[in-house]
Structure 1
């Protein structure tokens, strides 16, 4: 018998070979091999496998599985063996891929979209289209943003997509089926595709349809618990991108959120807002936005290095959704806010956009859609032309906070415009050092993910020389 493993015994004197300890070591090593040779080999478990030909017809026969045998892919959801698959081997392959990909790629709401996509035949075809595009790597390309030239260039994805779109059109013409959960789930899927490829025109069309169904059903609270949450979130993403007001109210499940601790408002900010309310009571929306943002920023700062926190999409939607909804509901033009003096309105709009830019940064950290940062910067820069001489000092400080926040989060191509006004505001507030800026920003609201070096760049001119005033 040849041992698979060698065991060495060190003997320094001849009589040590007869010692009880040495004999015991030799016997234990030999008997281990003997024991292995006498054991019965485990019988292999035979799982019958039948490979069916691809058939995407809706009349396919559902696959039959025996309850006595566990499926070899134990991580598959129950719907893997349901009528949705039938004899479509390609569908099974795509589900296998998406399930395996979950082991090494994080995608927000992956489990939710699995559940929604496998809940309805029409939604399932759209889910397969998205799975095909992900598999082919279209979404991994940095410039894969054009809907027509990228998404539908994948022939199989196009086939699944068009099939789902055709089925949806038929169901929308059915008076009994047009407001069903399956139709809602499918429209949600189309909206997510439109968001991901940034086709906002098509997004608006689908959101119009979803809003009509919402009113016909008198809300989505009676639907699957994930439908109201997902509808709420995609609505907020589009509203921020398109500078629109939210279409849907806060879902009932988020109305009484207990995750936010209102005691996280910094003391300096409390005092500043208290004085501002006394000298400029018209700025009530400004003060409410900042009081709502403070606990969110505090929570984000506490969990900045906690990877698990940024991979809990439902929790993040709850944390970010309520404050996003309020900020997006604040008037966006003077005509919508006739009771607020124009200089105060401008500060209100600046604070609103700065808060939305912070929320966009948090969405980036959570791997959500955050392309709204560019349009938000564009809107902010337009406001820099408005004078701030007619507002009290408290509002000037809040305006300065908004400008520096926008500067810190803006893309490099936007910073030059913001830099000039930031320096002018510092001179007006008698701020002459980067330490003063950093201290004031942290005393009000500041994200730990922002590099303080960005603030120091406010005091450095283009040639690298220190510049203390505008």
Structure 2
């Protein structure tokens, strides 16, 4: 075929439709168009071939992000956003979906859809995105936002105020989604007075429509449960929102799946056959983890969209209150194990995409129980070691850490073990996740071993033995 007879294409590659507004881009397009006009005059062509031009939208070469409404892309130019995006808001949206972003991935497929459904909610999504940007800049979560974040939340408040004027819409999906977005904002800041105020408002709104289970939209129903759970976990209080059906389905392994043997579970049931609340949850976690639940690509996808086994497990742990039902030694032990299980799961939750996971109340509550209640653990002492170990890893308070390290040193002495590797064997015999906790205990090991063998002061074993005798 004669090359002169072939159709000629001229490509103008753009990464976003807004680039069509650029004067240099427009000039280039005009030049190409005029070149086609001149070529057409010189050589007649068929009607189909005449003045053919292609505009092709391609992603920038510097990023591998794809366009995805549910969160794997950066900014979808075809998504109907509830506000007109300017350069600032577009950058905030992009930060939510950028690879390596500090922004929470947990249940993004649910709350992102809720954010797109209403102006007030979307402005709070942007305000929350700014908090995560500040985390990236400072290396830690901030306790208050900056002018940009406050500006976005001010827009959300004004939009919310306008909506409140319509009394018929007080229990609408849009209002419930907006209140949930405010709860998320306060939770990220770790400011739970504001979170509680909005949770109370959420409860009243849903009461007007007959309860939480009357929220028909799946993404909103999951988002409401999520915003209630993360704040409840942070304060170690029971959740007030019942489990969504999808979470109920994910909370336990399929019937007939194998139950791995766990020696410490058997010892618990032999000693406390009537205390089944916590140990039942523990057995479910052990089974789910043995099946690699939570660590596969499928489970991580569930975590980012509708939720995995972690959320209903946390709700169940928050629901049981051993010290309310009694004050016997078994109640104390069950409470220690409940708190220890939450601290064991917290890093796994982060690994699945949850951020932040506040545990300062949980570690404080555990330390309070240990300091005020002395009980004999006997053959169940590995559970105590396991709980204190993960509390020591999780706490960010230097005083708490030193107290947990000292308790571990006392426990090592009581178990007559002198090497750190022996302690980790005890911990791993209870419940362990290698890919999460491997090489995570270096500084804790140094702290505990320095207590056991203080340089220049000799062995402190006699002191530890005296403390062990007092506790017994």
Q: SS of the counterpart of 1:240?
A: helix
1:189 deviates by 1.5
Change (3 A) 1:464 1:456: farther
Q: What's the secondary structure of 2:237's corresponding residue?
A: coil
User: Looking at CA atoms only, which structure, 1 or 2, has the larger radius of gyration?
Assistant: 1
Matched residue count:
403
Aligned counterpart in structure 2 of residue 396 of structure 1, from 370, 381, 387: 381
Structure 2 equivalent of residue 251 of structure 1:
244
Contact 2:183–2:227 (8 Å) recurs in 1: yes
Aligned to 2:332: 346
Aligned pairs (5 A) from 1:132-211:
137=134, 140-143=137-140, 145-147=142-144, 150-151=145-146, 153-154=147-148, 157-211=149-203
Q: Distance in 1 between matches of 2:2 and 2:56?
A: 33
Counterparts of 1:393-432 in structure 2 under 5 Å? 393-411=378-396, 413=398, 414-432=400-418
Structure 1 residue 441 corresponds to structure 2 residue 408: no
8 Å CA contact retained: 1:311, 1:366: no
Whether the 8 Å contact between 1:357 and 1:373 is mirrored in structure 2 is yes
CA distance in 1, matches of 2:404, 2:215: 47
For residues 65-76 of structure 1, the aligned pairs below 5 Å read: 72=57, 75=67
Residue aligning to 2:321: 331
Specify the SS of the correspondent of 2:82: coil
Residues 302-321 of structure 1: matches in 2 within 5 Å?
303=295, 310=300, 312-314=302-304, 317-321=307-311
Segments of structure 1 that go 5 or more residues without pairing to the other structure are 1-33, 53-68
Q: Flag structure 2 segments of 5+ consecutive residues without an equivalent.
A: 23-53, 60-66, 70-75, 465-472
1:450 is aligned to 2:450:
no
CA distance in 1, matches of 2:80, 2:305: 30
Aligned equivalents of 1:71, 1:194: Cα separation in 2: 42
Bigger CA drift: 437-446 or 37-46?
Answer: 37-46
Q: 1:253–1:112: structure 2 CA closer, same or farther, 3 Å change rule? A: closer
Measure, in 2, the Cα distance between the counterparts of 1:213 and 1:71. 47
Distance 1:399 1:101, change over 3 A: closer
1:286 aligns with 2:278: yes
Cα distance in 2 for residues equivalent to 1:287 and 1:79: 50
Q: Which moved more, 1:361-370 or 1:185-194?
A: 361-370
Q: Residues 417-470 of structure 1: CA distance to partner in whole angstroms, max 9, x if unpaired?
A: 123322333444444544443333222212322246557544443646996953
Deviation digits for residues 273-331 of structure 1, max 9, x if unmatched? 3343233235322322321331344456983xx67855653468321011111111111
Cα RMSD over matched residues?
3.9
Instruction: Note if 1:382 corresponds to 2:368.
Output: yes
Q: 1:259, CA displacement in angstroms?
A: 6.7
Query: How far 1:224 sits from its partner (Å)?
Result: 1.7
- Does the Cα contact within 8 Å between 1:409 and 1:450 map onto a contact in 2? no
